[in-house]
Amino acid sequence: MRLLHLTHEAFELHSNGPQHPERPERLGAAAAGVRAASGIDVLEAIPPRAEAADLERVHSKSYVAAIESFCSSGGGRLDPDTGAVPDSWEAALRAAGSGWEAVARLKNGEADAAFLTVRPPGHHALAARAMGFCLFNNIAVTAAALLAEGQRVTIVDWDVHHGNGTQAMFYDVPELQYVSFHEFPAYPGTGWYDELGERAARGTTINIPLPPGTGGDVYREALVRLAPMIEQFSPDWVLVSAGYDAHERDPLASLRLVESDYGRLGSAVGQVAPPGRLIMFLEGGYDLGALKRSVAATIEGVAGRPPDGDPFGSPDSAWQFLQRALDSVTQEIG
């Protein structure tokens, strides 16, 4: 498999402050995982800076200007979890611009899929608010540009924290399907199974909230049950918020995935995405060793060779959560 890999040295210069879990070293760990994936031909590329018009498809003009001003004036804290420094502006623009560069290169047939090793992450960023380590919503910027071309988009979000920003931006857009697996209750407090979208988009938001202690057995069953729903939606592109903080070694959450589970996740999105139309965006994941190994496993899964390994078992409550979520969306979409 040919994999397009976009990253840039500017991402290492972004900082949330000392001792912050979303730290520059994550970039090297994820990139090392990409390059460690076996049997993959990796094409390296540099992401361009997003333009204001790209950002303003999903963010307010005043918010974009405020982030630029905040960074240029020295940075600081945007909220208790989210910081920035002067170099964060360049990093944020390139993170937001990476997806559209991947789209262009995949359209040209340069690769079969893409993995974007970027930071700051994006899926918590709202239209006019930074939060959860995120400045601009990288995956939403790309999705909005695809929607503007008349494309149908599925976003699969397996970060352990619900992508509240992404969901909010497309909650009433019937041409975008949002599928999220996440721990609940947990930050940011959204993503219950009855959040299904609004008006004509009712049923295009699918939330799978999972209790602490959930292991990969539930994820693997969920993938089997969700695949027909994604195929029925018939996306032109599949975009992935690829967070790795549901790993059992991660310090910020309480789920119990292992590398082989991420291989199964990669295999699942590789199967539902049209050929050459899969882009994965790095989101969370804060144990560096687990991050490296899980990224490699994901890519091997996309290539159809997920690594072997047994999942951790889950409590009964996790199976109950899964069934309630699936029942809820099934009632909407039939």
> What does the pLDDT read at residue 71?
98
Check pLDDT > 90 for residue 333: no
What confidence score (pLDDT) does residue 130 get? 98
The mean pLDDT of 119-140, rounded to a whole number, is 98
Give pTM, 2 decimals: 0.98
179-197 per-position pLDDT tens digit:
999 999 999 999 999 999 9
User: What is the average per-residue pLDDT within 281-291?
Assistant: 98
Catalytic residue numbers, as ranges: 124
**2-333 has CATH 3.40.800.20 classification:** yes
Question: Is the pLDDT assigned to residue 334 strictly greater than 80?
Answer: no
The three-state DSSP-derived secondary structure of the chain is CEEEEECCHHHHHCCCCCCCCCCCHHHHHHHHHHHHCCCCEEEEECCCCCCHHHHCCCCCHHHHHHHHHHHHCCCEECCCCCEECCCHHHHHHHHHHHHHHHHHHHHCCCCCEEEECCCCCCCCCECCECECCECCCHHHHHHHHHHHCCCCEEEEECCCCCCHHHHHHCCCCCCEEEEEEEECCCCCCCCCCCCCCCHHHCCCEEEEEECCCCEHHHHHHHHHHHHHHHHHHCCCEEEEEECCCCECCCCCCCCEECHHHHHHHHHHHHHHCCCCCEEEEECCCCCHHHHHHHHHHHHHHHCCCCCCCCCCCCCHHHHHHHHHHHHHHHHHHC
Mean pLDDT, rounded, of the chain: 98
At residue 140 the predicted structure's pLDDT band, cuts being 50, 70 and 90, is very high
Q: What is the pLDDT of residues 221-260, one digit of tens each?
A: 999 999 999 999 999 999 999 999 999 999 999 999 999 9
Q: Tell me: the pLDDT tens digits for 49-93? A: 999 999 999 999 999 999 999 999 999 999 999 999 999 999 999
